[in-house]
Amino acid sequence: MENEKENAKEAWLESQKMPTKRYYKDWFAKFEEFTKMTADEILADFQTRPVGYYESKIVQFKQWIIDEKHLSENTASAMAMAVRSFFGYHRRTLSFRTGEKKRLRERSRTTEDYHFSLDDIKRFNEVGDLEERYILVAGKSIGLRAGDFLKLSRSNLETHINDVVPVSIGRIETGKEKIPAYPFIDIDAQPVVKAILAKIAADGRTKPTDRILTFEGEIELTRALKRLAKRAGLNTGSQIVRFHCLRKFLIDHLSSHMSESKWKQIVGKKISESAYVSSDNLREDYARVMPETCFSKNFGDLEKRVKEIEQLKEQLGPEAVRKLQQAGIQLRQKVKKQPDCPEGSGRCQQICTEENLAGFLAQGWKVCAVLPSGSIIVSNES
């Protein structure tokens, strides 16, 4: 008989993933205590009550958790959401008034996030294992929310991983706002992503749909960062370290170098349809941010080199243009990439555009000449 009474709750809990299932089980037990009914009795009682009865009951339950159980407003809000999930699973429609919705959403944060510096991230990277370093540097490079970051698979990261940084990983559908993000892999993250792709392949996870991380929940990302903070001896005072701090780190720097619509497009926040731009356009702006968000290279003379190129273009006269046009044909033939000169390594020259120049410079390439067409010859020869 006891098993029959638990059917409604168990069926709902089985539809949840861990660790949500564990939390919901404990939280709904509090609602049963509050109503003095089992899950099945609650569903039966729902049919006899007027519209709005259980909406009010859930609001009262949240306050009861705060007043009687002395738990935080955040926890009480989460418990109320669990109860709404139970009714939703059993197709019991709830219709909250505006005031009730507001009371359910109210949450007062009692903690403050720690603000990462680039030096913090560098220190973390030095003491982390491969998986922890992936969470750290890919997290701050890509800037997705925890849930979306966990969903990243081989197909998201490996297609263009050998391209010059910053590497666009294309369109990523986000879970919270249901809108696309267009993130990038920066110069810190590229070698780590390559290494972890190789590791999971060695472990037999070679399908395009195989996820990079196999964590059960988002909390594991935060735990990894906290381990790194402890290992690196970071004193955060009363502030807390969590995965969301990496997203904030990236957004803070992106927002100082590009328009609001651009940085929101990169990290997956809502913008108007007309504000979307191409990945190439975003890539150019993202490259300008990397000197502030990456520790792998010295970007000190990046802006200086770009300005020198602009000055060279302005100084070209008609005769020089004619000669460079002729030389440009020969140069294009000479700098054609050789089979033993893979992109981004070895010794060779390449022709690039102004749009992807910053990415080459970020990897240590140097400017050799500027062609009248606007193309730029770069070399990685020492």
Q: How do residues 49-106 score in pLDDT, each as one tens digit? A: 999 999 999 999 999 999 898 888 888 998 999 999 999 999 999 999 999 988 888 7
Q: How do residues 301-354 score in pLDDT, each as one tens digit? A: 444 555 555 555 556 555 654 555 444 433 333 333 433 444 444 456 677 776
pLDDT of 345: 44
* pLDDT band, residue 375 (cuts 50/70/90): low
| pTM for this prediction | 0.59
Per-residue pLDDT at 134 exceeds 80: yes
Q: How do residues 147-177 score in pLDDT, each as one tens digit? A: 999 999 999 999 999 888 899 999 999 988 8
Per-residue pLDDT at 216 exceeds 90: no
HEC string of 278-319 equals CHHHHHHHHHHHHHHHCCCCCCCCHHHHHHHHHHHHHHCCHH
* pLDDT band, residue 145 (cuts 50/70/90): very high
* pLDDT band, residue 217 (cuts 50/70/90): confident
Separation CA 349–CA 15 (nearest Å): 56
pLDDT of 41: 94
Query: Which stretches of the chain are assigned E, i.e. beta strand?
Result: 167-168, 172-173, 180-181, 184-185, 349-352, 366-370, 376-379
Cβ pair 360, 164 in contact under 8 A:
yes
